[in-house]
Amino acid sequence: MPSNRVGQLRPTAVNSVLAEVRALQARGVTPVSLMRGEPDLPTPPHIVEAAAEALRRGRTQYPDNRGELKLREAAALKLHRDNGISYDPGTEILVTTGATMGIWAALTALLNEGDEVLVPEPVYDAYYSPILLAGAVPRGVPAILEKGRFTIDASAWRSAVTSKSRALLINTPWNPVGTVLTRAELTALAGLAAAHNLTILSDEIYETITYDGHTHISPASLGPEIRNRTILINSLSKTYAMTGWRVGYCAAPAETIGAMLLVLQQASRGPATFLQDAAAAALTGPQDCVAQMREEYARRRARALVALTGMKRAAPLAPEGGFFAMLDVRGLGLPSNDIRRRLLNDHHVTVIHGAAYGAAGEGTLRVSFATGANTLAEGLRRLRTGLEAVV
Ligand SMILES: Cc1ncc(COP(=O)(O)O)c(C=O)c1O
């Protein structure tokens, strides 16, 4: 029997849909997946070589639980270089097993029983479980779809705050909807956090993947007050096509990082030392691979938008960042989960229904272009055919 806390947990949308995909595969059908946030690009060779070289040097012992100093220094350098924020690698950086571990350690270190965490809806649904595991309550703040962009009005954030609110968990560029929060939007959130003594958890793992002149801004860069109430969470998964390596890092004031370290020591004690050496090489080495990946995602985004434009009752939204495009399917007049099922069962293409990310996502589908080439071309063809067949 699971505990009451574990009893509240649900598989993520991707995992639930994967179960349906496997059932179909067992019947001999091979659906094309436009579902996962999994880059198909290889990890750049100089990073792979750094890992191999570290292994050959025998870097196989337990890591420093805070993260190897070399990687903490590399993360501090990167945060200064790319985000304009200074952190002390000795006390203000924690290396984690992906952003997933960073999010969990931050929430566990921060939350008391009954605390509320404000999350934007549509939400990256994997945020719910660690909030619930910490005995706290997620409170979705609904976005509205305005001029092709999901956005949350400052007044909606304000009216979601209660005496139990403890933190805001945001994600920019925002998975699933593709919005990149502007300086004005972040400044408003910073003001709200200061007024109500909230901590901002800022998940920035898509920071390098932005389009059409949109640029990522970390809330911690807005000024010392907001820096000191922000836990910045990042990882190498998307930026360097390193999802399977499981390396990430967090930055926050020393007291917060100290508490998160205690939490992390109960669960993972950090990524393998040789992977940390390679991660340091990624953060401090040449960054042209990052620009090349961004250009490749931009080409795929353009391909997806062209392939999905001009339908009578469905239209793509151009994402400002990340590698997902939302499709507005409100014109089809059916629940998004029904449309998703029809696309999967009748047209053998997998996407995620917007309702999986909260009620504010109803009427949309999330389409991933993290995978390119024939998978993208064939997936988009099936998607269009399927959507045009829905009556
Ligand atoms: C918004 C967001 N945060 C965190 C993660 C997990 O990142 P990591 O691989 O670093 O654990 C993902 C993965 O898809 C994501 O989309």
pLDDT per residue as tens digits for the range 293-317? 999 999 999 999 999 999 999 999 9
Give per-residue pLDDT as tens, 55-111: 999 999 999 999 999 999 999 999 999 999 999 999 999 999 999 999 999 999 999
Q: Which amino acid is at 252?
A: A
Locate 241 and state its tokens. Answer: 């096509």
Mean pLDDT of 161-188: 98
Query: Atom 13 (ligand 1): residue with closest C-alpha?
Result: 37
Ligand 1 centroid from CA 35, angstroms: 14
Mean pLDDT of 263-291: 97
Compute φ and ψ for 184, nearest 5 degrees. -65, -40
293 near 39, Cβ under 8 Å?
yes
Q: Is 274 helix (H, G, I), strand (E, B) or coil?
A: helix
**Among the atoms of ligand 1, which is closest to the Cα of residue 175?**
1
Ligand 1 centroid from CA 233, angstroms: 10
Compute φ and ψ for 356, nearest 5 degrees. -65, -20
The per-residue pLDDT for 1 is 82
Q: Where are the beta strands (DSSP E) in 306-363?
A: 315-316, 324-328, 349-350, 352-353
Cα separation, 136 vs 156, whole angstroms:
21
Ligand 1 centroid from CA 100, angstroms: 6
**Among the atoms of ligand 1, which is closest to the Cα of residue 101?**
11
Which of 14, 95, 124, 172 most suits a substitution to test ligand 1, by most atoms within 8 Å of the C-beta? 124
Ligand 1 centroid from CA 214, angstroms: 21
Task: List pocket residues of ligand 1, CB cut-off 6 Å.
Answer: 37, 98-100, 124, 171, 175, 203, 205, 235, 237, 243, 248
pLDDT band at 52 (very low <50, low <70, confident <90, very high): very high
Cα separation, 216 vs 221, whole angstroms:
11
**Among the atoms of ligand 1, which is closest to the Cα of residue 235?**
10
166 near 229, Cβ under 8 Å?
no
C-alpha pair distances (Å), 306 with each of 252, 300, 340, 361: 41, 10, 21, 23
Is residue 168 exposed (0-12), middle (13-18) or buried (19+ Cβ within 10 Å)?
buried
DSSP-assigned letters across all residues of 146-168: ETTEEE--HHHHHHH--TTEEEE
Ligand 1 centroid from CA 12, angstroms: 12
The per-residue pLDDT for 235 is 98
Compute φ and ψ for 246, nearest 5 degrees. 60, 60
Compute φ and ψ for 340, nearest 5 degrees. -60, -45
Locate 55 and state its tokens. Answer: 């292994």
Ligand 1 centroid from CA 28, angstroms: 31
Strand partners of residue 249:
95, 234
What is this structure's pTM?
0.96
The per-residue pLDDT for 37 is 87
C-alpha pair distances (Å), 179 with each of 154, 207, 251, 299: 15, 11, 23, 18
Which of 100, 128, 208, 236 most suits a substitution to test ligand 1, by most atoms within 8 Å of the C-beta? 100
Running DSSP on this structure, what letter comes out for residue 218?
-
Cα separation, 64 vs 100, whole angstroms:
19
Q: Percentage of the chain surpassing pLDDT 90?
A: 95
Q: Which long-range contacts (CB under 8 A, 24 or more apart) does 6-11 make?
A: 6/133, 8/132, 9/129, 9/132, 9/133, 10/128, 10/129
* C-alpha 369 chain-centroid distance: 15
The per-residue pLDDT for 10 is 87
Instruction: Tokens 């560029």: give the residue.
Output: 173
Cα separation, 365 vs 384, whole angstroms:
12
Give per-residue pLDDT as tens, 342-371: 999 999 999 999 999 999 999 999 999 999
Ligand 1 centroid from CA 385, angstroms: 31
Ligand 1 centroid from CA 301, angstroms: 20
Compute φ and ψ for 35, nearest 5 degrees. -115, -45
Compute φ and ψ for 381, nearest 5 degrees. -65, -45
Q: Is 350 helix (H, G, I), strand (E, B) or coil?
A: strand
